[in-house]
Structure 1
């Protein structure tokens, strides 16, 4: 047991080191990360875009120094804990060290690495799904109701992190009904466990009710502007590519539920995957929403493969099974991770145009992946916002208004000006704008398609364009930073009206 734990620690160390190596130093943080980091200044039981768990880790990052190192640390930690849960699942199922090591390799060198480079709710979401499945596995194995309560805890905190986990429940319910585990519905502790999950999630549900259920508006916006571009066939195809280097282990896992006698009672995991994928496909979900389905399967697949390779000449194939995921990951890394500059990515794409389909949320293909374009230009933006702020009278209130949350959050994270805070009417910032002081000057940060209107300029005595984001690879390329000095009208009243209109939109 001690040896197994030492090996697990070794794999966890590899996981952490890899996550830091997968992002070139020339990239900034991702636009979504800035929103989550800014939540630390506005702690609440909910937000327009996400529940509160991510903000709690933002608070820890803030206490630890508010640096990029810690921003990258926590998603890597969630990925490492997911590996540890699968490791322990194999231990409970009677698997050996080879099976545990194989599963760890399959998870480390997979699409989980892509998600774990970003401080978003997704990494914790996968951990929560895996914890729920792990708890169910332990209940099926032992029959002890305490595991149902642990399942409830996982579900409760999963809801507090991302509502996506509701699809796990929707897939599990019919899966339980059509298998021998349907007897679980006669156990009163199951309903008590769901009650516990509801109790844990209740503060966020109350927040949603008090704020007019903005999650419904957020889902509608996703459906209209992002999910509408999702092709159902592409969603199913991408499921294979998430673990293409270790897909053979997943396939063996699905087979093992029917061919390996000791796994027959765990068929609920097979059917849960089928039902959940069907639901996701129907709703045209983003492909990565389903990744939480897979880690638990590697416990079963690794054990079954270990059994198949335990005799005769087949035992010599064991190292090959470990090498394949690593080798294919290394081959694919230049095309799937920001390990080199944008120019390097373009050169890779020119050599492999059929393998790199950089489709963005707008449904169009671009030169580099959207996630990577969302990690460029932010420090340049903050520097120019600081420059604009330095030109405004220091004894007057100057407000920075941005077009989107990425711009506002990046300025707030990278600014070197004490007390400077950027805002926007986008996302949660609509609830964070301080109008208690009279606004004398504005710094407008605008996307190039919007620009600065003559009407806005007419409200002020002086106007100066400070600059633009010049990085051609940044999604924000061309974004304008404009300084407006000496207001000639009541800017507070204009903003108050716009804020109320935006809040009304969120309530509709």
Structure 2
């Protein structure tokens, strides 16, 4: 049985994790809610075993976080912050599995904490935040399975995979990549055991409630995924390699390359070859599906964990100050650039500098301003007609913002045909008055469902942030061309 070389560097790793948590907490209240977070707030008020676009775990965690810590940008992100801190610890544990010394484990924790991807997902409450921790945990358990050849680890793997499936189905991708890698390189003995189907049964049991929900709702999540691939697949493939480098950090590239070579070439780590091979296999799968480049990033963190011991060896081989200085400068630049492009450190008025690299920065700005603009347009409707009027948002971010901020400025509950908003509520046929449409871009085919439409306002976030909602058109129509019950199915949007 292979064993890790040394004990766990608990104190320094915990120090790195706590430092990351402190930084994320200090900045979590700047800017505002992200569009996805506004959607999760409403989803948390409609807890279910599934949603059109995702399983139930993230809305549940958001509901728990805001119930305990408050319905604010800071409150919604507490569990996300803790999740990212735990991710740092798990990556250091993975490094230990590869016989890394305490210094190398600490380096693995630092590299994880300063990487752009971990900072970015740690700042927001998102499915990717919890998915990253799930992937790291599953990989750690898979590594233990391969290292010890103890088939009982399949049960723990099944438990982790089942919970991960209640957050996002993407977890099947690294699992598929690892399975293919084991079939290619071995050891295939870990597959020839009844503990494997037992682990699969555990995963299936935990995932069953959401799978039943999806099956009874005609698998809408597959429709959403297909739409994402169709809309963004070509761009995702073109940007795949550049974003693999940029979204972690260019300065970490030598470390993860060293990690791949370490797992592939080191005789004592021969058992870990499938872990190295799983990354390129996962890249091929993601490229074939047209998935987003960040889908493959978690396995790069595993390679970074594997590359930290060779990096420490490189530092100590020459015992020269220049090598230590090079590493220190690289990590410092990684931390600074990651923070600049993934955390709200810039004034909101300067966010356009970061948006070309990380568009999510801009999606946290301008929601109160959008709501105010909508309220100004709404109050153009004669007061005696407002009881029968409808406020209709074009996407879930707009609908979430209007739900959150609208009551304070006299707006009614918004309706939307986007994602699960379609299922949560629809206008009554008695609401046969004017309709105020919130449209990112005016669409004649869309407006053809309504009568006498004309633009009565434009959204301006006040800082010229070049995000998706800047310039959104507010279009007032005198009514619908058919009762809402007949019109509603045509207004459904999955992406």
- TM interval, shorter chain, is 0.7 to 0.9
What is the alpha-carbon distance in structure 1 between the residues aligned to residue 411 and residue 471 of structure 2?
26
Alignment partners' CA distance in 2, 1:480 and 1:335: 29
The residue aligned with 1:98 is: 103
Distance 2:407 2:325 in 1: 51
Match of 2:17 among 8, 12, 17: 12
Confirm whether residue 38 of structure 1 aligns to residue 42 of structure 2. yes
Change (3 A) 1:239 1:331: closer
- The answer for the alignment partner of 2:217 in structure 1 is 211
Deviates more, 1:169-178 or 1:137-146: 137-146
Superposed, 1:158-307 pairs within 5 Å as 158-232=164-238, 234-241=239-246, 242-307=248-313
5 Å-filtered alignment, 1:334-345, equals: 334=340, 337-341=343-347, 343-345=349-351
- What residue in structure 2 maps to residue 85 of structure 1? 90
Alignment of 1:17-166 (within 5 A): 17-20=22-25, 25=30, 27-64=31-68, 65-111=70-116, 112-166=118-172
Structure 1 window deviating more from structure 2 (292-301 vs 434-443): it is 434-443
Q: Is the 8 A contact 1:389 1:398 kept in 2?
A: no
SS of residue paired to 1:161: coil
- Superposition RMSD in Å: 3.3
The aligned length equals 479
Listed as ranges, the gaps of 5+ residues in structure 2 are: 1-5
Q: 1:303-327: per-residue Cα shift (whole Å, max 9, x none)?
A: 2333444456269845643442222
Say whether residues 1:424 and 2:413 are aligned partners: no
Q: Which moved more, 1:143-152 or 1:284-293?
A: 143-152
| 3-state DSSP of counterpart to 1:478 | coil
Residue 415 to residue 447, structure 1, CA distance change in 2 (3 Å): same
Partner of 2:425: 433
The answer (yes or no) to whether the contact 1:260–1:304 under 8 Å persists in 2 is no
Q: CA deviation at 1:497?
A: 1.7
Q: Distance in 2 between matches of 1:482 and 1:217?
A: 29
The DSSP-based 3-state class of the residue aligned with 1:400 is strand
CA distance in 2, matches of 1:329, 1:132: 26
Alignment partner, residue 3 of structure 2 = none
> For structure 1, which runs of at least 5 residues remain unmatched after alignment?
350-355, 359-367
Q: Secondary structure at the match of 2:425?
A: coil
- Kindly provide the CA deviation profile for residues 410-441 of structure 1, in whole angstroms up to 9, marking residues without a partner as x: 11123343994222111111111144683265
Q: Is the 8 A contact 2:388 2:431 kept in 1?
A: yes
Q: Distance in 2 between matches of 1:484 and 1:284?
A: 38
The alignment partner of 1:477 has SS state of coil
Aligned residue among 401, 405, 412 for 1:410: 401
What's the TM-score once normalised by structure 2's chain length?
0.86
In the aligned structure 1, how far is the partner of 2:290 from the partner of 2:457? 42
What is the 5 A alignment of 1:480-495?
A: 480-481=473-474, 494-495=483-484
Contact 2:243 2:293 in 1 (8 A): yes
CA distance in 2, matches of 1:40, 1:308: 49
Greater shift, 467-476 or 283-292, is seen at 467-476
Q: Specify whether residues 345 and 420 from structure 1 end up closer, same or farther in structure 2 by C-alpha distance, changes over 3 A only.
A: closer
2:457 & 2:282 partners in 1: Cα distance? 50
Task: Report deviation, 1:399.
Answer: 3.6
Deviation at 1:162, TM superposition (A): 1.3
